[in-house]
Structure 1
Amino acid sequence: MGPWFSWKALALGLLLTGTALAADRININTADASTLQEGLTNVGPRKAQAIVAYRRQHGPFIRVEDLTRVKGIGTATVERNRRRMTVGARLAPTETPPRRAVTTPVPRR
């Protein structure tokens, strides 16, 4: 088994490790407070509850950076956990949004 085999094994190992890390990300739009607390650095019970409460009130996060809108979560916490978080796949809306009424000008006299 020459050096070619060891390079293949190394490449395969790195590929599998990257796939495993991507699968372990926490979806901040669907995770409960317990999962957020256990999986994110510097996120305790209060911050985890604040994330869930903010999400319920304001809807899902569009970007991971939007997490800084939650009281008690700063950019340092987001940067520390960036590789551990995801917002999930954004789906296209199923319905077309309602049209806005077009106003017609009133004739002047």
Structure 2
Amino acid sequence: MRGRIRDRAPRAEGRAMKLRLRACSLLLLCCALLVARAAIGKKIPPSAPLDLNTATAAQLAQVPGIGAATARAIVQFREKSGPFERVEDLLAIRGVSARKLEQIRPYVSVSKPGPRKPSSSRGSEILNAAIESNGPA
């Protein structure tokens, strides 16, 4: 009788070891899935500040604190109102509060807008000619 018990002891240890190994593998898999899930939801901020006057909505959406809707609103505001003169101009956009602006500020900048090109309309030409003919004031 004792011989049979001794023969089964190594088998039982082997089974227990396999169960522990499977449990550890399952635990490791669960941890990896949790880390991957957390990484998917995080935004990767830009390495250099984005210029509000040239950035696309997709680029702006990568900034922490700016979602897709706010990014589209920034681009639409820029197209409608002209280039941003300073970062604080974002406060004019619905959904951008002072608190959100402080969160966004490290990731955005505003380039100095270049001189505006004169309009090619006939009215502008007449106005420019009238100003030039009067000389400096």
What's the TM-score, normalizing by structure 1? 0.61
* Identical counterparts, % of pairs: 32
Unaligned runs of 5+ in 2: 1-46, 119-123, 131-137
The reply to whether residue 62 of structure 1 matches residue 97 of structure 2 is: no
Between the aligned partners of 2:113 and 2:53, the Cα distance in structure 1 is: 11
Tell me which of the two structures has the higher relative contact order, counting C-alpha pairs closer than 8 angstroms and 6 or more residues apart: 1
Q: Report the count of equivalent residues.
A: 78
Q: Which amino acid aligns with 2:101?
A: V
Conserved 8 A contact 2:85-2:112: no
Between the aligned partners of 1:71 and 1:51, the Cα distance in structure 2 is: 9
Alpha-carbon distance, 1:91 to partner: 2.4
**Aligned-residue CA RMSD (Å):** 2.5
The reply to whether residue 28 of structure 1 matches residue 52 of structure 2 is: yes
Look up the match of 2:70: 47
**Regions of 4+ moved over 3 Å:** 92-95
Look up the match of 2:96: 73
Q: What does 1:8-19 align with in structure 2 at a 5 Å threshold?
A: none
Return the index of the structure with the highest Cα Rg: 2
Higher-helix-fraction structure: 2
Look up the match of 1:19: none
Unaligned runs of 5+ in 1: 1-22, 102-109
Q: Which amino acid aligns with 1:58?
A: S
